[in-house]
Amino acid sequence: MLQTAFDFCVTHTEGRARRGVMKTAHGEVETPAFMPVGTQGAVKGLTHRDLEALGAQILLSNTYHLYLRPGDDLVARRGGLHRFIGWPKPILTDSGGYQVFSLAARRTITEEGVRFRSHLDGSSHLLTPEKATDIQAQLGSDIAMVLDECLAHPAAADVARQSMARTLRWAERARARMLALREAPVAGVTIANPGQAQFGIVQGSVFPDLREESAGGTVAVGFEAYAIGGLSVGEPPDVMYDIVGATTPRLPQGRPRYLMGAGTPEDLVEAVARGVDLFDCVLPTRNARNGQLFTSEGRINIKNARYAEDDRPADPGCGCYTCRTFSRAYLRHLFVTGELNAATLNTLHNLNFYLDTLRGIREAIAFGRFESFRLAFHQRLSRRSHDS
C-alpha cells in the first residue's frame, strides 16, 4: 500500500489569506505559490536553472501534450517526468481535460469519458477518469489532477448542472482508480512516483448553488487537496472573485486550494485575499513571447515604437537579470528582429514579476500586513494606464 508524501501546513493567516508550506514527494513549496507552465516538460524560452534562479519551487506540466509526445509509457521507462526532464523539484500535472475540451470539433463527451482526435496526427484517443489517472501515475508528477469537464463561458444553468454532476461522478471514478493504484500493482501502469497526491476539482460555472454542491460533493469523495476549476475562462473578474470567495470556505482549512488557470497579477492578489494558495497561468510566459511585459506600474508592449530609443529597463523597480542588464530599446530590437532571446529575456522578466509578487504576498501575510500590500499593489497599478 503506497502512501502519499503530500502534506500541508498553514503557518500564518491574515483575514482569509494564508501563508503555508506544501510538502510533496520532491520537496516543499511555500504558499501562496505560482506554478510556471512547462507544457511539454519545459517552460518555453527558459532553462530549468533560470527557473530555479527565479525562485520557482514547482512546475506545471500538461498531461495531454506529454501523453501524445513523447508518451507516458516512454516517460515511465525513463523513470518518470522528474528524471526525464531533469527537474528535481515538485511538478503538478493537469488531467489533460482542459486541452481536450479546447479541441471543440475534435472531441465528443460521453459518460465514459472524452473521445478526441490528436491535434498532431488526427489519431483517435479516449480519455477517461481512470485513464487520466493512469497517465499521470506513469508521468509520476507530485500532484495529479482529476479529469473534469471544462465548460466554456457563458454556460446555461442546466448545461452547467449536468456538467458539474458528471464531473462529480468522474471524480469518484478517478479517486477509486487512484486508491486502486496505491493498493496494489495494476497491469500496464508503472507507478513512477509512489508519493503522488491527487487533487479534486470544483466546477459549477458562475452559479453559486452549483459551486456549493460541487464543493460539498468533491470534498465528500476525499482528495489530498482541492482545486477551483472553470474560472478565468472569460467571465468578468468580479464574478470570478465572488465565486472564489464563496467556494474557499467550503473547502477544508487544512488543505491547499488551487485556483486553476488564473490569472493576472491583480487576480492573484484578490484570490489570495479569499483564501487561495496555488496558481498557474500561461499569461506571464505567453504574453512575454508576444512582447507584453508586466511591470509594477502596468503592462507595456515592448514592440511599441516609443521604446525604440528608451534606455530605461523594462521595469525600473525590478531586479531581474533582464532589467539589470538590458534597456527597453534593446528588448524592442530583439523582439522586432524576431530574435529567440526576446522570448527568453521577456519570459524571465514576466515570471520574475509573478514570483516576486507571490514572494511579496507571503512576506506580507507573515508580518500581518497583507491588506496594506494589497492596497498598495492595486494603487500602484492604477496610477498608470496600460499602454497595451
| Biggest distance spanned by C-alpha atoms of the chain | 64
Shortest CA distance to 286 belongs to which of 261, 317, 259, 316? Answer: 261
Q: Which of 134, 142, 277, 280 is catalytic?
A: 280
Contacting residue, 250, 341, 359, 369, with its own copies by CB under 8 A = 341
Binding mask 86-105 for its own copies (x = CB under 8 A): x-------------------
Contacting residue, 147, 345, 351, 365, with its own copies by CB under 8 A = 345
Binding mask 247-286 for its own copies (x = CB under 8 A): ----------------------------------------
- Determine the distance from the C-alpha atom of residue 18 to the mean position of all C-alpha atoms in its chain, rounded to a whole number: 18
Shortest CA distance to 256 belongs to which of 3, 16, 25, 32? Answer: 32
Q: Which lies closer to its own copies via its Cβ, residue 53 or residue 109?
A: 53
Per rule CB under 8 A, count of chain residues that contact its own copies:
38
363 binds its own copies (CB under 8 A): no
DSSP sequence for 97-119: HHHHHHTGGGEEE-SS-EEEE-T
335 binds its own copies (CB under 8 A): no
52 binds its own copies (CB under 8 A): no
Cα dihedral sign, 331-337-342-343: positive
Q: Which lies closer to its own copies via its Cβ, residue 85 or residue 272?
A: 85
Q: How far is CA 114 from CA 4, 111, 120, 128, in A?
A: 28, 8, 17, 6
Classify 146 as helix, strand or coil.
coil
Contacting residue, 6, 8, 64, 84, with its own copies by CB under 8 A = 84
Residue 288: CB minimum distance to its own copies, A? 11
Does the active-site annotation cover 142? Answer: no
Beta strands 17-24 and 27-31, pairing class: antiparallel
How many Å apart are CA 66 and CA 154, to the nearest integer?
30
Q: Which lies closer to its own copies via its Cβ, residue 271 or residue 342?
A: 342
Contacting residue, 333, 359, 369, 378, with its own copies by CB under 8 A = 333
* Number of C-beta neighbours around residue 237 at 10 A: 14
Residue 123: CB minimum distance to its own copies, A? 16
69 binds its own copies (CB under 8 A): yes
Q: Which lies closer to its own copies via its Cβ, residue 165 or residue 336?
A: 336
How many Å apart are CA 177 and CA 142, to the nearest integer?
17
| Cell representation of residue 337 | 528582429
Binding mask 287-316 for its own copies (x = CB under 8 A): ---------------------xx-x-----
Q: How far is CA 387 from CA 248, 264, 295, 352, in A?
A: 34, 16, 12, 21
Does the active-site annotation cover 356? Answer: no
> For the chain, how are helix, strand and coil distributed in percent, rounded to 5?
45, 20, 35
Binding mask 19-48 for its own copies (x = CB under 8 A): ---------------------xxxxxxxxx
Shortest CA distance to 135 belongs to which of 89, 177, 83? Answer: 177
Contacting residue, 93, 128, 247, 344, with its own copies by CB under 8 A = 344
| Cell representation of residue 55 | 525562485
3 binds its own copies (CB under 8 A): no
User: What residues make contact with its own copies under the rule CB under 8 A?
Assistant: 40-49, 65, 69-70, 74, 77-78, 84-86, 308-309, 311, 321, 325-327, 329-330, 333-334, 336-337, 339-341, 343-345
Residues annotated as part of the active site: 94, 280
